[in-house]
Structure 1
Amino acid sequence: MDYKNEIGHLLQKYFSGTIMPDEQRLLDSWMKEKEEHKQLFDRLRKDTRFAEEYGIFREVDTTRAWETFRVKNGLRRQRRMTTWIKYAAVIALPLLIAGVWLLFPRGGERSIPVAQNTKIVKREESPVLEVVGGGKVILEKEKDKMIEAGRGVDVQQSSGMLVYSDSVVSEYVDTNVLRIPKGGEFKLQLADGTRVYLNSATDLRYPVAFTGPERRVYLKGEAYFEVAKDVEHPFIVVTDDVQVRVYGTSFNVNTLGADGVRTVLVEGKVGIRGQDLDREYVLKPNELAFYDRNSRDMKIETVDPDLYTLWRKGIFVFERETLENIMNTLSLWYDMEVFFQSESAKQLHFSGHMKRYEQIEDILHAITDATGVVFTINDRTVCVSR
């Protein structure tokens, strides 16, 4: 096999989501030939450090590119560099750092048609805490203060996190609602010590203290939970479609997808049940439960949990994801409307790890390079065409 051309072509098709079954078999065969082939592929797919170094290695010579890649990823030095690895280094490295995998040089850069003097910048709106009696408190990230969250209940806001006390003793247990706007994020520590990371466009309703046999919260949006262990008082996350029962674990729940709800278990053990299903499905670490809103079925599969949880560290992760789902994710972060001029454009696929840039144009350029689509921006509206 001509590593320099054939493997680069197969990798480009894999990461852009256009690889065919027979081509996938060839790529699988190549990865089985040597452990180092598989090792390089895995590092290209999973290493999020590239997203933090945008544009550093735009122009590199072959030897320097491979040496930089080898040092960064802990690969041992070889006496003679093989053709495939030399070519992968010089081509994959710059594009990975930019946040997209496209392994062949192009005749020229594609531009994104953008309305003059128009850029979409992430809004800087603050989360809002709704307390008993209908009061609303704007949570400014950098400010530390005490907030009256209920009758006899004060909450500490510090370093972008709300912390509820575990010593609340009250005849009445009030409920709070934390609302995260598009483009926002926030952290929360509940009264039992459970930590919750809330993503953009997310609402969480919860009691200021847990007093009954269960610890129950209500989620609309996406949140990552690190649940304090308490076997006698299960922690339950309720959404419109599913209910997740936990005893002490780390997991992510996302209700924002148009097609259904995704629950990913990082560690521990959870049981998940559709609101209209009798059976409870038990997840093991590195498993995803997908509840389909249309068929009302539950599907379990093994996944890399990083793909679903790195948003907590400011990274967008797309793994052979449809352009429709990608643009839905971006619209929630940048607070924009997206229109597709064709149904076929929605089904194009893209893979990449990218930082949540201040301006969306960097990300759109990467997607254009990989898929060939054209984005036209006007105010806070993006039109996608082929």
Structure 2
Amino acid sequence: MKESIEYIDWEIISKSFREELTGEEREKLERWLVASEKHRFFYERARVGGETNPAEGVDRQVLQVRKKELMRKASKMNEKKIYRKPLRFMWYAAAIVLPLVAAIGMWLSMRGEKGEVVVAERVQPGSGRVILELNDGRTYFLDSIRSVETGVEGSFAKAESKSLVYEKQESEELVYNKMIVPRAGEYALTLSDGTRVWLNSETEIRYPVAFGKDRRTVFLSGEAYFEVEKDENKPFYVVLDDVEVKVYGTSFNVNSHYRGRVQTTLVEGKVGIRVNSTGKERILLPNQMAEYDVKKREIEVKDVETYYYTAWRKGEFVFQDETIEEIMDRLCRWYGMEVFYENEHVKEKHFSGIITRFSNVTDILHLIEETATVKFDVKENIITVSDLK
């Protein structure tokens, strides 16, 4: 029998949560778990997101090694020219694969420091909540499993586990329903043609209970990820104010939350972006993003890493050298909070990182403080942002 081991690299623990271990790594993990009850207790707490003690079997030098590795990876990413701005720092180590509270517990404990976030109470992340408005004015709050009417006689939709599923059907008369996802909410929708839509916080979508025979059109405000059912004879359209996205059986993300911009990011397939007021149209290929400038009425197409724009659907925030103002807009939508800035200068500081969306907001603010030289004060549902003095 092989000897047990006292220490293990955090990367092996992280990869085990993602089920990406090699045979050799799996053997090392098993030997480490066998070595001590403390190791097993540490591993379980990390897996479910409890507080962890880095002295319990994880080498104290692991943190510094991981930071150097992350900086090296960030440096490599800087060499790619497809991004808007170079990445300054990537703080995503364990945060990708386990609740952030465990990762922050390790980082701050190993450094012997305390974060600067002043907390009055813990604010929890968003959850599956949505309001369904029928064409006849009736309203449903979909907070439990139920079957709901659709406004079309004899037609029902099933609400289950943060998702509403419509029956497959066609209709000559279009009857529209509206789904409203408030702040601190998210929800999924399966349309009558089988198209799946994931709706982010503060998003509205208006759609027919059953599509007609010629085209499929939905109206969107906010952010949503689409997996469109292919139908060559019936194109799919997403309409956002002055922009119309024509879809040919595809996976893509649309976001109108950014001030004065509408972003369409294509994961696979093909889409056409058309400006209704000018008639201009651009075709997107996979791994490209079209950014529409509302003021200029112009579309710019660029190559991107689509993960940065779609990670929210998998439960992660990805901040790509974003300003504190942009980051706080996203956090406030998800956590249902408001933000106050001590001065204009603090809005322009930058941060990069990948963080789970299901952490307490104060845990995320702790992480941002590590590199962005800002201070956060959380009281009830208001976050005050100031310079770190």
The TM-score, its normalising length taken from structure 1, stands at 0.73
What is residue 265 of structure 2 aligned with on the other side? Answer: 264
Q: 1:324 to 1:174 in 2, by over 3 A?
A: same
Count residues with an aligned counterpart: 315
Q: 1:93 to 1:58 in 2, by over 3 A?
A: farther
Q: CA deviation at 1:211?
A: 0.9
3-state SS, counterpart of residue 185 of structure 2: coil
Distance 1:188 1:88 in 2: 40
Q: How does 1:11-160 map to 2 (within 5 A)?
A: 58=54, 60-61=58-59, 96-98=93-95, 108-114=113-119, 117-122=120-125, 126-141=129-144, 143=145, 145-152=146-153, 153-160=155-162
Q: How does 1:97-246 map to 2 (within 5 A)?
A: 97-98=94-95, 108-114=113-119, 117-122=120-125, 126-141=129-144, 143=145, 145-152=146-153, 153-169=155-171, 172-246=173-247
Q: 1:53 to 1:321 in 2, by over 3 A?
A: farther
Question: Which 5+ residue runs of structure 1 have no aligned equivalent?
Answer: 1-49, 70-83
Distance 1:286 1:106 in 2: 39
Q: How does 1:228-307 map to 2 (within 5 A)?
A: 228-307=229-308
Q: CA deviation at 1:383?
A: 1.2
Q: 1:52 to 1:332 in 2, by over 3 A?
A: farther
3-state SS, counterpart of residue 122 of structure 2: coil
The TM-score, its normalising length taken from structure 2, stands at 0.72
Q: CA deviation at 1:121?
A: 2.9
- The answer as to whether partners of 1:58 and 1:94 remain within 8 angstroms in 2 is no
- The answer as to whether partners of 2:71 and 2:90 remain within 8 angstroms in 1 is no
Q: 1:270 to 1:61 in 2, by over 3 A?
A: same
CA RMSD, Structure 1 to Structure 2 (Å): 3.3
Distance 1:334 1:86 in 2: 28
- The answer as to whether partners of 1:271 and 1:282 remain within 8 angstroms in 2 is yes
- The answer as to whether partners of 1:237 and 1:245 remain within 8 angstroms in 2 is yes
3-state SS, counterpart of residue 177 of structure 1: strand
Q: 1:151 to 1:94 in 2, by over 3 A?
A: closer
Q: Deviations over 1:243-281 (max 9, x none)?
A: 100010000000111131111000000000223332201
- The answer as to whether partners of 1:251 and 1:263 remain within 8 angstroms in 2 is yes
Distance 2:300 2:114 in 1: 41
- The answer as to whether partners of 2:291 and 2:301 remain within 8 angstroms in 1 is yes
Q: 1:54 to 1:287 in 2, by over 3 A?
A: farther
Q: CA deviation at 1:95?
A: 6.7
Report the AA paired with residue 61 of structure 1.
D
- Aligned-pair identity in percent equals 39
Question: Which 5+ residue runs of structure 2 have no aligned equivalent?
Answer: 1-45, 74-88
Distance 1:97 1:258 in 2: 31
